[in-house]
Amino acid sequence: MKDLFLMVCQFMRKQGHSPILKSMVIMLRTVLILLDEPEEALGHYDDVWKNIQEHRIPPRQAMTLYFQDLYIAVMLRRENIRGICEQFIAAKSMDSSTIMFSDLVKEFIVGLASFQIYRENLQQNQQQLQLWMERGRKCLEQMNVWAEPGAMINFGHKILLLQAEKSYCRGDIVAAKESYKNAVAAAECNAFINDAALAYELAGRFYEEIGDFFLIGMSTIIPGVSNPRQMLFFYLMSTCAKVKTANELHLKVQP
């Protein structure tokens, strides 16, 4: 994936296509962070990233940057997720461009972030907490509206994952377990590789936090592993292997 983005960045620089180059560098940075590589690995594109950091980009690209930061915060459970989410929502409200499919994906991530912020701030002002719950609920509601024309394949697993997070926030553990399981299954069934990885990650956190380490699809203790956190680690490593295998199979069937 990193090599692919580097190749596209190189091509766009040769073509002198600055707007697309900046968008690709933003995406490349996300890939590097998820691979646990330093931003210095941007190498020949440090000058482009400096321009991006100085906000010498149009509003649409700024919103893309804020969204990527929010995606990273949700996936890696960053402590400053609330500030990142508020920054993205503010940028989104200033963008009057036409709604596109990518915007629907952004709404999905905002919903997940909202439920996560709600759970991590239960001791704070209840009125503010309810604003985050309501924001997550509206994202789920909007996702259902978009799915109505018959696009359930695209939206089904997203709806299930939002439902799981909402149920977890409300303390309905049984409903949350069922929705997490179904979200993982739906994402895998329809080959949404990134969303499957995200569903596994959020489900893993859920099971860790409730102290139930008999995770999705695992009915026996892993031999030689007695520590629950170790068991979760081995399970998530297995999950990463599944996602990697699925990705390789997906690439093999491409024309």
Q: Please compute the mean of the pLDDT values over residues 4-21 and round it to a whole number.
A: 80
Buried b (16+ CB within 10 A) or exposed e, 181-191: bbbbbbbbeee
Residue 248: pLDDT over 60: no
Sign of CA dihedral 31, 32, 33, 36: positive
Q: What is the pLDDT of residues 114-142, one digit of tens each?
A: 999 999 888 777 777 888 999 999 999 88
Print the SS3 string covering the chain.
Answer: CHHHHHHHHHHHHHHCCHHHHHHHHHHHHHHHHHCCCCHHHHHHHHHHHHHHHCCCCCHHHHHHHHHHHHHHHHHHCCCCHHHHHHHHHHHHHHCCCCCCHHHHHHHHHHHHHHHHHHHHCCCCCHHHHHHHHHHHHHHHHHHHHHHCCCCHHHHHHHHHHHHHHHHHHCCCHHHHHHHHHHHHHHHHHCCCHHHHHHHHHHHHHHHHHHCCCCCCCCCCCCCCCCCHHHHHHHHHHHHHHHHHHHHHHHHHCCC
Question: What local confidence, expressed as pLDDT, does residue 128 receive?
Answer: 79
Mean pLDDT of the chain: 76
Q: What is the pLDDT of residues 161-200, one digit of tens each?
A: 999 999 999 999 999 999 998 998 898 888 888 888 888 8
Which range, 3-12, 100-109, 182-191, 226-235, is most confident? 182-191
Contacts of 47 by beta carbon, 8 Å cutoff, 6+ apart: none
**How many Å from the N-terminal Cα to the C-terminal Cα in the chain?**
18
Residue bearing the bigger pLDDT, 3 or 223: 3
Residue 212: pLDDT over 90: no
Amino acid at residue number 125: N
**Are 141 and 103 contacting, i.e. CB atoms less than 8 angstroms apart?**
no
What's the token pair of residue 76?
Answer: 């890696």
